[in-house]
Chains A and B, each alone.
Chain A
Amino acid sequence: MSLWTSAAICRQKINASATGVRAGLAAIRAILHRHRLKEDDLGSVELVLAEVLNNIVEHAYAQRHDGVIEIFISPCEAGLAVRVFDTGAPMPDLTLPPGQPANIDVALPELPEGSFGWNLIRTVADDIQYVRVTTQNRLSFRIPLTQAPPPSETQTEQPS
């Protein structure tokens, strides 16, 4: 099955803010729950998406509060294919962060309080790709599931 040919089972457009991310994740979780994703897989999807969306809010849209993020989720080979679009600032050097594990073998006062995000994304997701198309950032990745992916047809989408 090609990564992008099956129809999206979930499309969300969210406001680029911490509360927008929270509401969007809850809506996506509810949709995927209806598609009978197991709790373990729901957790993986929510974790990766939370990190991706928080990064867009904090970095791509930085000081702006009118940003919009679009999320599309489709079934794919042994997982879910996720696409995330925003029109914020491009990734520095048009390159994804390496996501090295934070160094935690340090004394208590030096323990890291951040920079876990891209390591979490890269640990859970694969096939991660990023392109900038004119003013739009397009990130895509696959989240492997422990169960068969849901069928692509859905009652949650209506033709517009």
Chain B
Amino acid sequence: MNLTSQTEGQVLLINVDEPRIDASVAIQFKDQMRELSDAHPARIVVDLSRVDFIDSSGLGAIVAAMKQLGNGRTLELASLTPTVGKVFRLTRMDSVFKIHDTPAKALRAGAESP
């Protein structure tokens, strides 16, 4: 599981450099998300542009990654590929997560709000 992160102003941008978040890597994904996000205070945006596929275990791991943030911190998603977007729509999880077309739009959306 290859996750990298960079700080953009107040936002921690996490890149998922993996083609799949599935049952075989779901726990690793959740653990690495915790390590990367632990010390970060506010908004976290996850760039999923390289992820072609998630299954329900992967979806559960993304939900778990948001829940383990706690303390009013937010986890937002950017650049969902078609099949990943389908999983979010079919489970209605697209109404739970803030989803941006691109990481750049996610950063701009943050800058506009007070």
Contacts and interface: CB of A to CB of B under 8 A. Distances in A.
Interface residues of A, number: 30
A50 B83 contact: no
A114 B56 CA distance: 7
A27 interface: no
Interface in A1-59: 18-19, 21-22, 39-40, 43-44, 46-47, 50-51, 54, 57-58
A104 B91 contact: yes
B83 A46 contact: yes
A111 B59 CA distance: 12
A18 B92 contact: no
Interface residues of B, number: 25
Contacts of B64: 113
A61 B77 CA distance: 34
Interface stretch (A63-71, A73-81, A118-126, A127-135): A118-126
B56 A43 contact: no
Interface string B39-61: 00000000000000101110111
B90 A123 contact: yes
B24 A43 contact: no
B95 A104 contact: yes
A90 interface: no
Interface of A: 18-19, 21-22, 39-40, 43-44, 46-47, 50-51, 54, 57-58, 101-102, 104, 108-109, 111-114, 116-117, 119-120, 123-124
Interface of B: 20, 22-24, 53, 55-57, 59-61, 63-64, 66-67, 82-83, 86-87, 90-93, 95-96
